[in-house]
Amino acid sequence: MKKTLSYFIDPAIGKKILLCVKLTTFFLLIALMHVSAAVRSQDKLDLTVKNVKFDKLFEMLEQKSSYTFLYNNQAIAQRKVTIDVKDVTVPQILDNAFKNTGLSFRILNNNLIVITRQSAPQTADITIKGKVVDTKGEPLPGATIAIKNGSSIGQADANGNFNITVPDNTILVVTYVGYKTQEIETAGRSEITITLTEDAGNLNEVIVTGYGTQRKKDLTGAVSVISTKDLAGIPVGGVDQIIQGKAAGVTVTQNTGAPGSGISVQVRGLNTINGISPLYVVDGTPVVDGINQIAPDDIESINILKDASSAAIYGARAAGGVVIITTKHGSSGKAKLSLNAYTGVQSATHLIKMANNSQYVSAYNAAATNDGRPLISDSLAHTLSDVNWLKEVLKPAPVTNINLSVSGGTETSNYIVSGNIFSQNGFN
């Protein structure tokens, strides 16, 4: 006899069991997916790209990994990278790509990588007290203190002291009229003493005008300056010859062709009233003919004052202009010996091509035939000289210049002693 067994399950309990099975299956699938993603995100890649933009690089990494990238197009605009790596993770690739770019990244949940710009480190402000002095320790009131490539932030007071607040690791630029500009680093310093050195030879900033100095930008064309670089290597025998061709509105002519002959200088050109010569001032002292006793190698600079306002201090003597000559001075330190010498040969150039004996006779006889004059016979032609007298008169002549100077000094005084020998023979 066949028996059938049957079991009765309460419907409410059956629904609970089915719900538990479904939930268990769902969470098991989620866990498996998370493990799969985590394992894939740690996969090591081989990547070789050359000169590609960052957005293309991110697309390639998204295709080869489970990462997703979030970034601002402006932050990576026009940026390119070259990478050649093997067996590395995506974070390692990004570390390599972002070197020296100012970019950084963060990995968030769900393998989301956010690209951001690195924030600049905050620099603390520091207070600096200091003093600006010259080489003798005297204060320089009014010296300007500024941040390099920035604006002015303060000035030294009557005693040369200043007190400023600036970011740490700043470079200060200290300036004062007539002194060399100096740059000072502030890293780890709270008190600074700044010593400025004189810059007396900087004619680009200050020009001597007889009664004082003026900035070059404040002047018009009334002053011409011949600086040291304009004087170097000029083979001349006198100061007046240096001016020739170096200053606009100044006419220099040699009275004769003889060596050492006088030079005529007219500051305002040929229209100068009565042809008056300029007044020469050497190191602040007016001279009449003293410039002929100065060797060109001893001159530091020449300033030519051409208008009435710049030459007013000298009165009527400056009616023909003023030539201010500043000579070289010694400097503190060990004695310096300087020797400047050259020798050469003067020769006349662009001479007229002269006819020889036969050419002259031929040309004369051709003209005489047309005029009906007697001809030069062969016997007479042989008695005529065959000499180029122009070349005989203008033979090359030597010129020699030797200048020897000794200079030096101390903090309180300086000296310079110089001697010059100039020899110039005329064409003979």
Q: Per-residue pLDDT for 40 more than 80?
A: no
Residue 271 confidence (pLDDT): 56
Please indicate whether residue 234 or residue 105 has the higher confidence score (pLDDT): 105
Q: What is the pLDDT of residue 327?
A: 84
The count of other CB atoms within 10 Å of the CB of residue 361 is: 19
**From-to residues of CATH 2.170.130.10 in the chain:** 219-328
Which pLDDT score, from 0 to 100, does residue 132 have?
A: 92
Helix (H) or strand (E) holding 371: helix 357-371
Distance CA(193)–CA(186), nearest Å, equals 12
The mean pLDDT value for 204-211 works out to 54
Lowest mean pLDDT among 89-98, 186-195, 236-245: 236-245
Q: How confident is the model at residue 2 (pLDDT cuts 50, 70, 90)?
A: very low
Q: Judge whether 106 and 116 are in contact, CB under 8 Å.
A: yes
User: Which of residues 204 and 323 earns the better pLDDT score?
Assistant: 323
Mean pLDDT of 398-408: 86
pLDDT in tens, 60-90: 888 888 888 877 777 776 678 888 888 888 8
Lowest mean per-residue pLDDT among 19-23, 77-81, 102-106: 19-23
CATH number at 125-196: 2.60.40.1120
CA 173 to chain CA mean position, Å: 17
pLDDT in tens, 230-244: 766 666 666 667 777
Beta partners for 213? 208
Range among 265-274, 278-287, 314-323, 363-372 with highest mean pLDDT value: 363-372
**Residue 277: how many CB atoms within 10 A of its CB?**
17
Spatial separation of the C-alpha atoms in residues 143 and 177, rounded to whole Å: 8
* pLDDT at residue 133, as a whole number: 92
Q: Residues 276-290: pLDDT tens digits?
A: 778 888 887 887 765
CATH of domain 1-119: 3.55.50.30
| Delimiting residues of CATH 3.55.50.30 domain(s) in the chain | 1-119
Q: Average pLDDT of 347-365?
A: 86
Please check the confidence at residue 334 and state whether its pLDDT lies above 80.
Answer: yes
**pLDDT tens track for 128-174:** 888 999 988 889 988 888 888 777 788 888 888 998 888 877 888 99
In this predicted structure, what is the pLDDT of residue 367? 92
243 CB-contact burial (10 Å; exposed 0-12 / middle 13-18 / buried 19+): buried
Query: Could you tell me which of 280, 271, 277, 219 has the C-alpha nearest to residue 249?
Result: 271
Which of 230, 251, 344, 347 is closest to 296 using CA atoms?
Answer: 230
pLDDT at 258 over 50: yes
The domain over range 219-328 is classified in CATH as 2.170.130.10: yes
Higher pLDDT, residue 263 or 373: 373
119 pLDDT band (50/70/90 cuts)? low
pLDDT of residue 123: 60
Q: Is the pLDDT of residue 109 over 70?
A: yes
Q: Which residue has the higher pLDDT, 317 or 221?
A: 317
Given a contact cutoff of 8 angstroms between Cβ atoms, the answer to whether 244 and 264 are in contact is: no
Instruction: Please report the DSSP string for 137-190 in residue order.
Output: S-B-TT-EEEETTS-EEEE--TTSEEEEEEETTPEEEEE-TTB--EEEE-TT-S
- On average, the pLDDT of the chain sits at 76
Q: Which of 70-74, 246-250, 345-349 has the highest mean pLDDT?
A: 345-349
- Give span(s): CATH 2.60.40.1120, the chain: 125-196
- Percent of the chain predicted with pLDDT > 90: 3
